[in-house]
Structure 1
Amino acid sequence: MQIFVTGATGWIGSAVVDQLLDAGHDVIGLARSDASATTLEKKGARVRRGDLDDLDGIHAGASAAEAVVHLANKHDWAHPAATNRAERAAVETIAEALVGTDRPFVLATVLSGLVQGRPALETDPSPAVGPDSPRGGSENLALEYADKGVRVISVRFAPSVHGIGDQGFIAQVVSAARRHGVSAYPGEGTNAWAAVHRPDAAGLVRLALEGAPAGSRLHAVAEEAVSTRQIAEAIGHTLGLPVESVAPENAGEHFGFVGRFFGMDMSASSAYTRDLLSWIPAGSTLIEDIRSGAYGQA
């Protein structure tokens, strides 16, 4: 299958490209820099130059492909409105290019904000609706195209897609521990995050592309709930630092931008996803990765 991938050299995207190539697919990755293009070519993928603002190029790439995997996002935390607009525009552009083709369109979404007080389920709809909502309401927008001849599949990624080289949320928490000389958690540390090892997440994207039905909402979740206190204790053990609580109202000052997420409960089940696609995550746990030094360079 010829597959157009945005975010093809990102943290998750690079692992997805490896999985797709290993499975014999023909990958065309969107690359905005010479370095990204070179990385893709060395792997054996083809390159389409452009970025998320190049909507004509994205439309052309999607139209020419047999499937699309959309993993790119600006992640500009200082300008969330612009990030949300870009995400919505890219998703709409891809979906419009695929109308009436029955081709698969896998897009990355998130678990944050779905529910509180219990693990999120695949049946829980995203509350983000409309262009001014988080990620521009891209999941709900995309799923509308399931009735327009597009095999839309939303993959909701755990807040921690962990492994050696991860520079995401956990890396920022580790950096805060180094800065302050203490490994902290918000409040009582009972709020919890779902987690998944990066190769397992990439494997799920491939399975979704190859077999998930239109309108699917899937959870890239291996561990349903890892408490923030457990995370802080593992970081403290690894760095040789004391472990302490930080008042929730001081989380932003202590952790930086990631503080608003570290205080949220983002636990989730993946029971439906596992049953649907026979997905069996087998990688290391988040705590195992932290304790083994995967975040030593954070």
Structure 2
Amino acid sequence: MKIFVAGATGAIGRPLITQLLAQGHDVVGLTRSSEKARTLVEQGAEAAVADVFDADAIHSVIKRTQPDVVIEQLTSLPKTYTPESMRAAATQNNRIRLEGGANVLAAAQAVGVRRYLVQSIGFWAAPGAGLADEATPLALDASPMIADGTRTIAEIEHRLLTTPNLEGIVLRYGFFYGPGTWNAPDGDMAHQVRQQQFPMIGKGESVWSWIHVEDAAIATVAAVTQGNPGIYVITDDHPLPVRVWLPAYAQWLNALPPPRVSVEQALSLAGEDAVYYGTQLRGASNARAKWELGFQPRSLGWIDDIAIDSSEIDIERAKQWLS
């Protein structure tokens, strides 16, 4: 099967190309950089060089390559994970997803692509009891930047799932970790934790759902052939509150325990978005992906690799409570 990947050189794009090739697919990776095009060719994929904001160019490369399936992984995220850098990147990230993604989708529909997969977000569900699933609405009333992002995601999802004559699949990924991500040992979040710059806010009650980028790629490849049209949550099996995963992450990095700040302090120092991430996120259930895609994600690496010695943190009890 011929697969066209838009966003082929990002954190998930690289392992996705590897997984698609390993499954015997003929892969075309979109990039606007000649240097990154060489990287794609070295991986064994065909490179298509075009700017996603140039609708005619995108239509031309998709028409020329005639893919059976398009996978859209378009993002424009900064190398550093700070409130300032995320706010600065938000406008361009939303634009590339809305405008650039619209160009890719329109071209795919025009040339008769059968199936279209798009990246979405699995940790922006509306607050509530229990784990969120595919039917849970997005947090449209969250803090300003997050609400802006959820509106973008909601539009992308609706746009795809209402496009006629196309099998649309939305993949709501959890927080990425693994090679090439902010949370890798050499990533920016790891640097901040080592420098005591990533505090626990309040009681650390916000629940995060994680996914290794290689597992995200595996699930995406499964959705190419096995998935039914609709939404899938792609996360690991055990969403964990910040009070569990953050100290464990620090210990895994051989760093000091993270500092604690009050909600009021965090609002003053980092703003509403950081407080939302630290106190309001809701975990997500991957039950549909496991059932329909045969998805078997690994456990969060830094939880399994170390033993936490703290009367406040009971990993197994947390897993049972959230399962």
User: What TM-score do the two structures reach when normalised by structure 2?
Assistant: 0.78
Question: What are the equivalent positions in structure 2 for 1:75-224 lying under 5 Å apart?
Answer: 75=77, 77=86, 78-99=88-109, 101=112, 103-117=114-128, 118-126=130-138, 133-135=151-153, 137-145=155-163, 148-158=164-174, 160-167=175-182, 171-180=187-196, 184-214=199-229, 216-224=230-238
RMSD: 3.1
Matched, 1:236 2:250: yes
Residue type matched to 1:247 in 2?
S
Matched, 1:32 2:32: yes
Cα pair distance change 1:271/1:41, threshold 3 Å: same
Cα pair distance change 1:262/1:42, threshold 3 Å: farther
Deviations, residues 76-99 of structure 1 (Å, cap 9, x unaligned): 631423432331123322332233
Q: Bigger shift: 77-86 or 199-208?
A: 77-86
Matched, 1:275 2:277: no
Residue type matched to 1:40 in 2?
L
Deviations, residues 44-78 of structure 1 (Å, cap 9, x unaligned): 10001123323323233334221100002113631
Question: What are the equivalent positions in structure 2 for 1:257-268 lying under 5 Å apart?
Answer: 261-268=277-284
Cα pair distance change 1:57/1:222, threshold 3 Å: same
Cα pair distance change 1:55/1:239, threshold 3 Å: farther
Offset of 1:247 from its aligned partner?
1.7
Structure 1 residues without counterparts, runs of 5 or longer: 293-298
Q: Bigger shift: 38-47 or 165-174?
A: 165-174
Offset of 1:176 from its aligned partner?
2.4
Offset of 1:284 from its aligned partner?
4.3
Residue 188 of structure 1: SS of its match in structure 2?
A: coil
Cα pair distance change 1:45/1:200, threshold 3 Å: same
* Separation in 2, partners of 1:185, 1:286: 20
Deviations, residues 233-278 of structure 1 (Å, cap 9, x unaligned): 1133233413332223433636998665344414100101111122
The answer to whether the 8 Å contact 1:219/1:269 transfers is: yes
Residue type matched to 1:72 in 2?
L
Cα pair distance change 1:289/1:20, threshold 3 Å: farther
Cα pair distance change 1:55/1:246, threshold 3 Å: farther
Cα pair distance change 1:123/1:206, threshold 3 Å: same
User: What TM-score do the two structures reach when normalised by structure 1?
Assistant: 0.84
Offset of 1:289 from its aligned partner?
7.6
Residue 52 of structure 2: SS of its match in structure 1?
A: coil
Cα pair distance change 1:7/1:102, threshold 3 Å: closer
Residue 109 of structure 1: SS of its match in structure 2?
A: strand
Cα pair distance change 1:142/1:179, threshold 3 Å: same
The answer to whether the 8 Å contact 1:162/1:286 transfers is: no
Residue type matched to 1:149 in 2?
N
Residue type matched to 1:220 in 2?
I
* Separation in 2, partners of 1:169, 1:135: 25
Cα pair distance change 1:51/1:256, threshold 3 Å: farther
Q: Bigger shift: 13-22 or 27-36?
A: 27-36
Offset of 1:36 from its aligned partner?
1.1
Structure 2 residues without counterparts, runs of 5 or longer: 79-85, 141-146, 308-323
Residue type matched to 2:30 in 1?
L
The answer to whether the 8 Å contact 1:196/1:223 transfers is: no
Residue type matched to 2:133 in 1?
L
Cα pair distance change 1:284/1:192, threshold 3 Å: same
Q: Which has the higher strand share?
A: 1
The answer to whether the 8 Å contact 1:208/1:277 transfers is: yes
Cα pair distance change 1:255/1:203, threshold 3 Å: farther
Cα pair distance change 1:221/1:131, threshold 3 Å: closer
Cα pair distance change 1:163/1:81, threshold 3 Å: closer
